[in-house]
Amino acid sequence: MTATATIDNEGNAPFSDWMKVIPTDTASQTNPDTFYANNSGTFIIHSDNQGVLTTLIQLIAGQTNNSIPPQVILAAAATVTEVLGNLQCDAYIQANLAGSTYNGSTAGSCTFYAPIWGPSLKIFVVTFGGFSNANGHGFTLPSSIARGVFVMGSPYGGSPYGCKFQASGSDVNSKIFTALSSSGGSAASQVTIPGNSFGYLPVTADTFWVQSNNNSAVDGAFVCIGN
């Protein structure tokens, strides 16, 4: 390889390659490059770990005629992308993590989402769509949640029906607000989280249960924020 102060690539058709780096242990793969770039702006970096390629960054130029939009892809699935400074977003944050759906034994379904889950902030949502259920079902959390506040925005069940938290297979009590006051409200300690309620989780839990609601199909959502 010869050292050069500049790279000059002129007069070639769009999407012409100007850099391809292929180690010997990846040469037989369909896309074997650890570094790839073309003159339309596409730039791709893969890491090579004993012949196993993992995406680190992809800058895709896009092709209008093939309905491919310009895009930036950071890292492969299950690869951590760490931002050491502040992260500024000038548009919406679109969380595309798929949910886990449980179909009601009678009708409808409920779906568990955990779009944000880290050591300092955890958020999960359970949505109910025409959900009517005669059985219980537990959603295992990605990891334990240590305390949190929640809103049950649905007429889901009614004691002893509704939802609940568990830790290591055992029920734990939540605090359900029973009165609000400028001098301090009150809360009841109980396992069941009834419909149309809000409160907080004062302990650590690892599972969220939807119990039998024993009534007509319901809609709405449960939202919990903790750490």
Q: Are residues 66 and 131 in the same domain?
A: no
pLDDT per position as a tens digit, 95-141? 888 899 999 888 899 999 999 999 899 999 999 998 888 888 899 99
Residue 95 falls within a domain, yes or no?
A: no
Q: What is the DSSP letter of 38?
A: E
The enclosing domain of 106 has a CATH number of: 2.60.120
Q: Which amino acid is at 113?
A: Y
Q: Which amino acid is at 127?
A: T
| Reduced DSSP (H G I as helix, E B as strand, rest coil) percent helix, strand, coil of the chain, to 5 | 0, 50, 45
Q: Are residues 125 and 195 in the same domain?
A: yes
pLDDT per position as a tens digit, 65-104? 778 889 998 888 778 888 899 989 898 888 888 899 999 8
Which of these three, 40, 62, 87, is where a domain ends? 87
Largest CA-CA distance found in the chain, in angstroms, rounded: 77
pLDDT per position as a tens digit, 153-187? 888 765 556 789 999 999 999 999 999 999 999 99
**Does residue 42 contact residue 61 with C-beta atoms inside 8 Å?**
yes
Look at residue 175 in the predicted model and tell me its pLDDT.
Answer: 96
Q: How many residues does the chain have?
A: 227
The boundaries of the domain holding residue 157 are 100-226
Residue 94 falls within a domain, yes or no?
A: no
Look at residue 157 in the predicted model and tell me its pLDDT.
Answer: 60
What global pTM score does this model have?
0.77
- Starting at the edge strand found earlier in the chain, the sheet holding 71-74 runs 17-21, 35-38, 43-49, 52-60, 71-74
Range 9-15 contact pairs with CB under 8 angstroms and sequence separation of 24 or more: 9/39, 12/39, 14/39, 14/40, 15/39, 15/40, 15/42, 15/61, 15/63
Domain count, the chain: 2
pLDDT per position as a tens digit, 39-54? 999 999 999 988 889 9
Q: Are residues 190 and 115 in the same domain?
A: yes
Q: Which amino acid is at 157?
A: G
Q: Are residues 122 and 76 in the same domain?
A: no
